[in-house]
Copies of this chain bind each other. A is one copy, B any other.
Amino acid sequence: MSTAKLTINLDALATNWRNLDALTTCETAAVVKANGYGLDAGRVGQALAKAGARNFFVAAAEEGVALRRAIGAGPGISVFSGHMEGDSKLLREFQLTPMLNSLDQMLRHFEVLPGHSFGVQLDTGMNRLGMEAAEWAAVRDIALGQQPVLLMSHLACADEPNHPMNAQQLQTFIELTNGLDVPRSLAATGGLLLGRNYHFDLCRPGIGLYGGLPFSDGLPVVQLDLPVIQTRDLDVGETVGYGNAWTAARPSRIATVAAGYADGLHRALGAGEIGVFAGQTRCPVVGRVSMDLITVDITDLADTPDHLTILDEQQTVDMLADAAGTIGYELLTSLGARYARSYTG
């Protein structure tokens, strides 16, 4: 057994959902795109449905199919990318609700799946997904005649609470949707934390469920333990790993652990000041992160551990992401397929 062990705490996930839900008086849905932020959309969806979530969001129809198979009929599943060519059969068979992003998508939907549930995504300034104001003005009455289940938009700067873009997008969203008597959603995790003005009828947290910032009160959901393959003693001046990137400045004991950048532990981590943990004791990663292996300085440990921990409540997803020069969202969704995964709760 030389694969690393990824433990996913579904109780912590459900607690995060409940704690976010408690911050709102509206419905709280859950974003489980990118395979549940890398943690298995099916398992995540089941746990959140049990906790009380009744609506889920995915990026693509194909993701909706996998989720529907896991959580069964009943909960709503919405698709951010809308109704793409080739999606119609999946949307119908698996009761998926596309968030229509353009006139093209709307025409396709009304023609191919008349009467089938849909929402409309509006652009309020991010210029990534959703109808522009002029486009919406042109089709709004037709769309409303077909009874959309949701009008939604997405904030570009919600992780920066003081960014003026937030209020600007809020104002635009109000202008595009006021008085239309259709449920509305603007906020993901960041927007939910901006306060009630941003909540409307439905919040749809993603990253906060999984223990990531900007939800600083979130519980860590993942733990990642790396088995020690072997250890060796180095003399002063000996080097470790690719490019001889690290040189022993003292007599050192080095452990080689099983996981690397092919497992989503970014190669950039090797250039940072990152550690792994034996219990409470931090051991520095030394040398470059390679594809399947990481080398660690365990000189200060009294005993050789059988594993070292790189992600847990001591070293969170965001701390590791920061060391790799990225964000928790990317670190989480990069976690690879080679781990032995177990689910608690």
Q: A residues engaging B (CB < 8 A)? A: 1-3, 33-35, 37-38, 59-63, 80-82, 84-87, 101-102, 104-105, 123, 125-129, 132, 156-157, 159-160, 163, 165, 227, 229-230, 232-234, 238-244, 254, 256, 258, 261-262, 264, 266-268, 287, 290-293, 295, 325-327, 329-330, 333-334, 337-338, 340
Question: How far apart are A156's CB and chain B's nearest CB, in angstroms?
Answer: 6
- For residue A267, give the distance in angstroms from its CB to the closest CB of chain B: 5
Please give 12 more A-B residue pairs, beta carbons under 8 A apart, in addition to A2-B61, A34-B262, A60-B338. Answer: A1-B87, A3-B60, A62-B338, A62-B340, A63-B338, A80-B292, A127-B234, A127-B241, A128-B293, A129-B293, A156-B242, A156-B243
Q: Which of A227, A262, A338 lies at the interface centre, i.e. has the most chain B CB atoms within 10 A of its CB? A: A262
Q: Lowest 3 CB-CB distances: which A-B pairs, in order?
A: A1-B86, A34-B262, A262-B333
Question: How far is the CB of A199 from the nearest CB of chain B, in Å?
Answer: 21
CB neighbours (8 Å) of A229 from chain B are: 81-82, 84, 101, 129
* Contacting residue for A240 out of B127, B132, B295, CB 8 A: B127
Task: Using known A-B contacts A127-B238, A227-B84, determine if residue A326 contacts B267 with beta carbons closer than 8 Å.
Answer: yes
Rounded to whole angstroms, the CA-CA distance of A156 and B80 in the bound complex is 45
In the complex, what residues of B have CB within 8 A of residue A165's CB? 239, 244
Q: How far is the CA of A34 from the CA of B159 in the complex (A)?
A: 34
Chain B nearest Cβ from A308, distance in angstroms: 15
Task: Please state if B35 and A232 are interface contacts (CB–CB under 8 Å).
Answer: no
Q: Which residue of B lies closest to A38 (CB)?
A: B262
Q: Find the residue from A86, A129, A157, A241 having the highest chain B CB count within 10 A.
A: A129
Identity of the chain B residue whose Cβ is nearest the Cβ of A304 in the assembled complex = B104
Residues of chain B within 8 A (CB-CB) of A82 are: 2, 229-230
A127 CB, min distance to chain B CBs, angstroms: 5
**Known contacts being A229-B84, A241-B156, A256-B128, is A327 close to B292, with CB within 8 Å?**
no
Q: Which residue of B lies closest to A81 (CB)?
A: B2
